[in-house]
Chains A and B, each alone.
Chain A
Amino acid sequence: MISRRLLGPALAAFALLDLAIIVAPSLVLAGAAQKGGLVGAHGLDLVVASSVLGSSHAALVWIRLRRQLLRYADTADVLIATLNATVVVALATTMLLLVVLGGFAPQHAVLVNRGWPVLGLWIGMHLVAMALAEVTRSLVLRWLDPHGNGPSSRAVRAEMHR
């Protein structure tokens, strides 16, 4: 089990990292627009959407990580799975934007012409990135502990064996 002294910094690091990497693309876009002379609210909708989604996901990461780190003796599985999930959400959030927006520009333009809001697309891509991260976390945990019922099972088995 992780010591309480380390718990706070570990939780804060993962949650803040999660929030930062989800919000970053929208800040990059808003910053570029501001630098180009588009002052004011340009791009603010994307920043707000990313912040809301990023905060929610960061809260989820915080709560789940806290529960698991306090409860289970063998915390390595939890931390490793969270690290891998963080990498996936970081890559997916930005790369999805580049691939989907850059590679399918004509299709998106058609949607916008029909009144479909860009915000819907933006939120959808973020949700896909978060879902990929959750799937990764779950798969890594399962792979690390294929026969158990949770991160603590190996520790429990080790205790019983002793």
Chain B
Amino acid sequence: MTRQEAGLRLSRRQLLAAGLGLTGTAVTGAALNRAWWLLSREDLIPGAAPTLQLEPHRWQTEPDRLTVAAIGDSGSGGRQAMAVAEQRALSYRRRPFGLVSLLGDICYYGPIRRRFDDAFARPMSPLINAGVDFELAIGNHDGGLFFDDLALAEIEDTLELLGTPGRYFTSTHGPADFFYLDSSKPAILGPDGALQLEWLDDTLGSATSQWRIVALHHPIYSSGSHGPTPHLDGLVEPILQRHRVDLVLAGHDHHYERTVPVDGVTYVVSGGGCKTTPVTPQPYTAVAESALQFMHIDIDGDRLTGRSIGPTGRLVDRFELRAREGRR
């Protein structure tokens, strides 16, 4: 009589193999759940760089006019990053800009020395060839209260490759002063944190341009997966309010979000440079969307128009700000 005729009696090997298969099924279920979640939030498929040829130096920056693009978290070199990069180049063709404000995380999946060409130079190549300038608010590197050697080396490499003057700095373009911060925890709460905050206070206090725009990687207000950055709201936010900053641009969370003015300051998260994560709007949110996007900002006299543009050219958001009274 066979085993089956005698009922379902399995041999020891069959039991072992069946047990392995069933255990594998349970483990695989949990692993795939996590892996697919990760896959949906990354941009791992390498992409082909945009090949658009742009007319160099077509922008016009005047004392009362400026056009600038801003993008955060774009450093994958993947297909989604390239789709956004192509749209950014097309946007230059429609409304040329001479400056791109980078809101951090310009390189994922490896050290920047190794990935610079693939994660930055290739996607940006149409703009680089057109002579556009890049200014960077550096990204993460905030494992603890102190930078470790690896983080410091990565920061140094990033600043050198981009030609960025320092971890925090200011620049003036037409009617706007830009203030780039290192918003990582060690740079705010660490031993040199007070220096940066003092510098910000002083520099904002002596700013003379009509518009004041602050760019940093970690958002002060965000409804995304990282959320607001706790070490910024008590230390940086009061300085921004005191000096009546107009617009704060951040990345870090991979979505688009604009707040209602908070004590007169409008906060934007523009972290959809190559990946997306979910967003749940909070009471301070005016517009929020989990979307690939970049920012296109026009300043014309006392009016600033911000546009968040998706990878197909769709307008994710459009807003207008008026210059603060007393500034000209």
Interfacial residues, chain A to chain B (CB-CB below 8 A): 21, 24-25, 28-29, 31-33, 35-40, 42-43, 46, 73-77, 80-81, 83-84, 86-88, 90-91, 94-95, 97-98, 101-102, 105-106, 108-113, 118, 122, 140, 143-144, 155, 158-159, 162
Report if A84-B24 is in contact (Cβ < 8 Å); known contacts: A36-B292, A144-B13. Answer: yes
Report if A83-B38 is in contact (Cβ < 8 Å); known contacts: A32-B276, A74-B2, A74-B3. Answer: no
Interfacial residues, chain B to chain A (CB-CB below 8 A): 1-4, 8, 10-11, 13-14, 17-18, 20-22, 24-25, 28, 31-32, 35-36, 38-42, 44-49, 76-77, 79-80, 83, 108-110, 114-115, 117-118, 122, 272, 275-276, 290-293, 310-312, 314, 316
A85 to B24, CA, bound (A): 10
- CB-based A-B contact count at 8 angstroms: 152
The answer to whether B38 touches A98 (Cβ under 8 A) is yes
The answer to whether A37 touches B3 (Cβ under 8 A) is no
A95 to B27, CA, bound (A): 13
Q: In the complex, which of the residues A21, A81, A144, A155 has the most CB atoms of chain B within 10 Å of its own CB atom?
A: A144
A48 to B47, CA, bound (A): 18
Judged by DSSP, the binding face of A is helix
Within 8 Å by CB of B39, from A35, A42, A98, lies: A98
A74 to B1, CA, bound (A): 12
By a CB distance below 8 angstroms, the chain B residues around A29 are: 39-40, 45
The answer to whether A32 touches B40 (Cβ under 8 A) is yes
The answer to whether B13 touches A158 (Cβ under 8 A) is no
The answer to whether A144 touches B17 (Cβ under 8 A) is yes
The answer to whether B1 touches A162 (Cβ under 8 A) is yes
A25 to B39, CA, bound (A): 8
Chain B proximity of A3: nearest CB distance (Å): 11
Given contact pairs A77-B14, A112-B47, A118-B46, enumerate 6 new A-B contacts (beta carbons under 8 Å).
A32-B276, A84-B20, A88-B24, A91-B32, A105-B44, A109-B117
A81 to B115, CA, bound (A): 43
Q: In the complex, which of the residues A24, A36, A75 has the most CB atoms of chain B within 10 Å of its own CB atom?
A: A36
Going nearest first, the 9 A-B pairs with the smallest beta carbon separation are A109-B118, A87-B24, A83-B21, A105-B109, A37-B310, A101-B44, A36-B292, A32-B40, A36-B276
